[in-house]
Amino acid sequence: MIQDLLAPAVLIGIASSGIRLATPYLYATIGETFGQLSGVLNLGVEGIMLMGAYSGFYVTFKTGNPVLGLLAAIVVGGLMGLGMAIISVTFQAEQGISGIGVYLFGLGMSDLLFQKSLGTVETVSGFQPVEIPFLSQIPVLGQIFFRHNLLVYAAFLLVPVAWFVINKTTWGLKIQAVGQNPAAADALGVSVSAVRYATVTLGGVLSGIAGASLSIGLLNVFQQNLTSGMGFIAVALVYFGGWSPVGVLLGSLLFSLVNALQNWVQVLGIPIPSDFAVMMPYVLTILALVFAVRKVTQPAALTKPFERGEG
Partner 1 sequence: MLTSAPHRIQRVELRDIVKRFPGVLANDHVNFEVQAGEVHALLGENGAGKTTLMRILYGLYQPDEGQILIDSRPVTIESPADSIRHGIGMIHQHFMLVPSLSVAANVALGLRSTREPLLDLEVVKERVRQLAEAYSMLVDPDAMLWQLAVGEQQRVEILKSLYRGAALLILDEPTAVLTPQEVEEFFVTLRRMADEGHALIFISHKLHEVLSISDRVTVLRNGQVVKTLKTADTNRQELARLMVGREVLLRVKRKPVQLGPPRLVIQDLWALGDKGLPAVRGVSLEVRAGEILGIAGVSGNGQRELAQTLAGLRKATQGRVLIDGDDVTGWAPDRLIAQGLSYIPEERMEDGVIRDMTVEENMMLEDHGRPPFARGIFLNFSAIAEHCDRLIGDFEIKTPSRRTPLGNLSGGNIQKLILARSLSRTPSVLIASQPTRGVDIGSTEYIHQRLIAQREQGTATVLISEDLDEVRNLSDRIAVMYEGRIMGIVERDEATVEQLGLMMAGVPMEEAAGQTG
- For partner 1, give the closer residue by CB, 119 or 189: 189
10 binds partner 1 (CB under 8 A): no
Min dist CB 306 to partner 1, Å, is 13
Neighbours of 189 (CB within 10 A): 6
Query: How many whole angstroms separate alpha carbon 263 and alpha carbon 21?
Result: 11
Region from 108-116, 211-219, 268-276, 303-311 binding partner 1, contact rule CB under 8 A: 303-311
Min dist CB 180 to partner 1, Å, is 5
Query: How many whole angstroms separate alpha carbon 96 and alpha carbon 210?
Result: 21
Min dist CB 291 to partner 1, Å, is 16
10 Å CB burial of residue 133 (0-12, 13-18, 19+) is exposed
Question: Among positive and negative, which fits the CA dihedral 245, 222, 259, 136?
Answer: negative
- For partner 1, give the closer residue by CB, 34 or 264: 34
Residues 260-299 that bind partner 1 (CB under 8 A): 296-297
By C-alpha distance, which of 203, 239, 248 is closest to 23? 248
- For partner 1, give the closer residue by CB, 87 or 177: 177
Q: What are phi and psi of 130, to 5 degrees?
A: -120, 115
- For partner 1, give the closer residue by CB, 273 or 309: 309
- For partner 1, give the closer residue by CB, 181 or 303: 181
Q: Which 8-state DSSP code applies to residue 118?
A: T
Residues 178-217 that bind partner 1 (CB under 8 A): 180-181, 183-190
Three-state SS for 148?
Answer: strand
Give me the residues that bind partner 1 (CB under 8 A), please: 168-174, 176-177, 180-181, 183-190, 296-297, 300, 308-309, 311
